[in-house]
């Protein structure tokens, strides 16, 4: 398949011209220099440092040219020969390749009890034993959710009290402006249900809600207790102040309780921002992008629904939604789920059980 694909891509002339490369290099150098400037370098020093880290531009251009041009004819001939050899040796080859592809893009939804419950038990969240992570499996490999898939699933599911999505990608490179020197802060984008589903109240002010996570909603942020302490000396005046994070100017509406570090062990965001701000704080708008998989999805199980029932319902729902999203279309071949934490109190991470579909 790869041989055919390479061949097709070469014949379609998907090689690129040098203007494109030069443009890419220029953008790269600018971003790199901007980063150095943010960290306090003068513009000149930042440009020099960027050049140094990038390496020799002419060498890169040469290597690129070589990659583009040199192997072309040779490679086409080889690819062609290889493809024919494969077909002759194995007449079933073409058919088999198609079948593999169909299964390859098949994925199915699975739910995991969040069993790194050590993290959850020590966090001030409500009834951690009913929190689940919903995971997509592509041939057994966990995949992230796209925003459209999350949105559709959240709107239609009936077995959960609520679900929310966060980005692990976070805003590690978020820049805080307007409060002294520019500096990096870590932000986390969360959908409107985040605080409600986790059951985390505000220490001060209010938490984010569904109304904050709409395209036209005024941009707001909830800050962590640690950030509140560091930046505002735990003053109530923090509420109503503005955080300039990348392209967004978000008003602080609340402070999270002490000891709440978010949903992921080991990452402690300074601020939580509603998902609707994504296009303003990241380089590309991914809210309408069914092919961009970048979200982690957590949910709270309804008290009257067993994990296995939820699993079956979500799996069925996922298959219904699959036709809206060509990439995830395919057959569901099985599901994985973790046993509830309560059933295995001594296990930090219960074993994964395979069940038929």
The set of residues, in sequence order, having a beta carbon less than 8 Å from that of 100 and lying 6+ positions away, is: 1
- Shortest Å, Cβ 51 to other proteins: 10
- Shortest Å, Cβ 353 to other proteins: 23
- Under a CB-based contact definition with an 8 Å cutoff, are residues 316 and 111 in contact? no
- Shortest Å, Cβ 39 to other proteins: 13
Residue closer to other proteins, measured from CB, 2 or 346: 2
- Shortest Å, Cβ 170 to other proteins: 11
Residue closer to other proteins, measured from CB, 144 or 203: 144
Residue closer to other proteins, measured from CB, 53 or 127: 53
Residue closer to other proteins, measured from CB, 174 or 221: 174
- Shortest Å, Cβ 209 to other proteins: 27
- Under a CB-based contact definition with an 8 Å cutoff, are residues 133 and 111 in contact? yes
Residue closer to other proteins, measured from CB, 11 or 355: 11
- Shortest Å, Cβ 351 to other proteins: 22
- Rounded CA-CA distance 321/332 in Å is 13
Residue closer to other proteins, measured from CB, 238 or 245: 245
- Rounded CA-CA distance 339/357 in Å is 17
CA dihedral 185, 213, 169, 204 (to 10 degrees): 40
The residues that touch other proteins, with contacts defined as CB under 8 A, are 1-2, 5-6, 8-10, 14-16, 20-21, 23-28, 30-32, 34-35, 53-57, 59-60, 63-64, 66-68, 101, 104-105, 138, 141, 144, 169, 172-173, 246, 283-284, 286, 291-294
- Shortest Å, Cβ 78 to other proteins: 13
- Shortest Å, Cβ 251 to other proteins: 22
Angle formed at CA 339 by CA 333 and CA 344, multiple of 5 degrees: 155
- Rounded CA-CA distance 85/90 in Å is 8
Residue closer to other proteins, measured from CB, 62 or 211: 62
CA-wise closest residue to 8 among 93, 74, 76, 90: 76
- Shortest Å, Cβ 52 to other proteins: 9
β-strands 248-255, 220-223: how paired? parallel
Residue closer to other proteins, measured from CB, 266 or 356: 266
Count the Cβ atoms, other than its own, within 10 Å of residue 76. 14
- Under a CB-based contact definition with an 8 Å cutoff, are residues 194 and 297 in contact? no
Residue closer to other proteins, measured from CB, 191 or 293: 293
Would you say how long the chain is, in residues?
A: 357
- Shortest Å, Cβ 102 to other proteins: 11
Residue closer to other proteins, measured from CB, 28 or 354: 28
Burial of 151 per CB tally in 10 Å (0-12, 13-18, 19+): middle
């Amino acid at each position: 398949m790869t041989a055919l694909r390479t061949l097709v891509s070469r014949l379609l002339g998907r090689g690129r011209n040098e203007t494109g490369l030069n443009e890419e290099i220029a953008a790269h150098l600018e971003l790199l220099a901007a980063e150095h400037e943010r960290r306090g370098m003068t513009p000149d020093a930042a440009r020099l440092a960027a050049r140094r880290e990038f390496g020799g531009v002419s060498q890169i251009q040469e290597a690129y040219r070589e990659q583009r041009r040199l192997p072309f004819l040779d490679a086409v001939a080889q690819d062609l020969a290889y493809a024919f050899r494969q077909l002759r040796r194995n007449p079933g080859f073409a058919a088999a390749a198609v079948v593999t592809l169909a299964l390859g893009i098949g994925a199915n939804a699975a739910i995991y009890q969040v069993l790194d419950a050590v993290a959850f038990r020590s966090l001030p969240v409500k009834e951690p034993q009913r929190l689940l992570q919903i995971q997509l499996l592509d041939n057994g490999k966990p995949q992230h959710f796209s925003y459209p898939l999350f949105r559709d699933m959240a709107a239609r599911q009936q077995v959960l009290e609520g679900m929310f999505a966060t980005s692990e990608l976070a805003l590690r490179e978020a820049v805080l402006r307007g409060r002294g020197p520019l500096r990096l802060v870590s932000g986390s984008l969360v959908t409107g249900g985040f605080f409600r589903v986790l059951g985390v109240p505000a220490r001060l002010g209010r938490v984010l809600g569904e109304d904050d996570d709409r395209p036209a909603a005024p941009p707001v942020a909830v800050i962590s207790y640690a950030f509140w302490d560091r930046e505002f000396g735990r003053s109530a005046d923090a509420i109503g102040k503005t955080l300039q994070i990348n392209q967004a100017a978000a008003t602080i509406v609340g402070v999270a309780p002490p000891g709440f570090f978010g949903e992921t062990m080991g990452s402690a965001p300074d601020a939580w921002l509603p998902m609707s701000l994504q296009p303003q704080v990241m380089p590309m708008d991914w809210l309408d992008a069914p092919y961009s998989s970048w979200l982690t999805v957590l949910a709270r199980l309804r008290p009257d629904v067993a994990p296995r029932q939820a699993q079956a319902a979500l799996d069925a729902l996922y298959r219904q939604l699959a036709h809206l999203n060509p990439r995830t279309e395919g057959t569901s071949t099985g599901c994985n789920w973790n046993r509830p934490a309560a059933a295995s109190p001594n296990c930090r991470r219960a074993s994964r059980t395979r069940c038929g579909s």
